[in-house]
């Protein structure tokens, strides 16, 4: 079944948002899309998804917004800056240029200024992301349960219709044999032009026909399948594959009856 869930968590002044989306699929196919810097948490997220979802093509989206205000420092790379300055002075002296290098120019050269970030607590980050995922999965599961309840109600209503039709078949089946016997007797009288018709011959033909069109076994199996259908839906949990097989059996019995 399709589903959607969203969860949020806080992490050092930043907000973590996790969205879970799913569409129908025969097996579980989970993909995680998140900033590359936090890829270390991917496997942990997938394991959590596997614990909650058994089937579906599941996409997990992780977003982190906001910046850490602490732990970031900007430093001057003195050897690099001095190298650029020396090179600029050499250009000035060699080609007779005038002026001194501007600060704005020097600061734009690569690696003159370096930004260093304090090592992040990987475990804390992973736990925050997983916390947001758990909230998203709770939301996701609630949505799927609502959809499942509606589908179950629809399937059960169709099962009641099938059961009513099975009752009509069981009621009509004996009449079919009686009607065949009447038609057979009338046909034989027409062929024999009013002569006496052997009752034993009619009984034999009617018995052969009754055996051919008997659907007792099929209606009994259909009622058994209906009972299994109700039991599956009452148990809850993943039942898609079992239901798929059971519906094939419904079709088999219905085709035989037809």
pLDDT tens track for 165-181: 999 988 887 777 677 66
For residue 72, what are the β-bridge partners?
A: 117
Query: How much is the pTM?
Result: 0.61
Going from the N-terminus, what domains does the chain have, and what CATH number goes with each?
Answer: 3-67+122-145 (3.30.230.10), 72-117 (no CATH), 153-257 (no CATH)
Burial class from Cβ neighbours inside 10 Å (0-12, 13-18, 19+) for residue 20 reads buried
What per-residue confidence (pLDDT) applies to 189?
A: 64
Chain CA centroid to CA 160, Å? 28
Which residues are CB-contacts of 152 (< 8 A; sequence separation ≥ 6)?
233
pLDDT tens track for 23-52: 988 889 999 999 888 899 999 999 999 999
Burial class from Cβ neighbours inside 10 Å (0-12, 13-18, 19+) for residue 69 reads exposed
Q: For residues 43 and 47, what is the distance between their CA atoms, to the nearest angstrom?
A: 6
């Amino acid at each position: 079944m399709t589903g959607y869930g969203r969860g949020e968590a806080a992490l050092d002044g930043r907000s973590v948002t996790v969205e879970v989306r799913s569409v129908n699929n025969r097996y579980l196919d989970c993909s995680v899309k998140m900033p590359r810097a936090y890829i270390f948490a991917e496997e942990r997220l997938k394991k959590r998804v596997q614990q909650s979802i058994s089937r579906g093509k599941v996409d997990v989206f992780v977003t982190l917004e906001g910046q850490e205000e602490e732990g970031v420092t900007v430093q001057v790379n003195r050897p690099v800056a001095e190298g650029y300055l020396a090179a600029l002075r050499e250009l000035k002296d060699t080609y007779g240029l005038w002026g001194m290098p501007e600060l704005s120019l020097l600061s734009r050269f690569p690696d003159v200024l370096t930004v260093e970030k304090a090592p992040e607590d990987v475990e804390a980050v992973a736990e925050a992301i997983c916390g947001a995922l758990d909230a998203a999965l709770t939301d996701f599961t609630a949505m799927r349960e609502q959809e499942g309840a509606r589908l179950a109600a629809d399937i059960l209503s169709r099962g009641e219709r099938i059961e009513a039709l099975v009752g009509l078949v069981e009621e009509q089946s004996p009449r079919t044999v009686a009607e065949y016997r009447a038609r057979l007797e009338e046909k034989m009288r027409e062929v024999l032009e009013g002569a006496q018709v052997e009752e034993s011959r009619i009984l034999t033909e009617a018995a052969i026909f009754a055996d051919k069109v008997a659907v007792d076994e099929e209606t009994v199996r259909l009622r058994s399948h209906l009972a299994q259908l109700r039991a599956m839906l009452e148990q809850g949990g993943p039942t898609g594959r079992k239901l798929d097989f059971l519906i094939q059996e419904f079709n088999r019995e219905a085709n035989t009856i037809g």
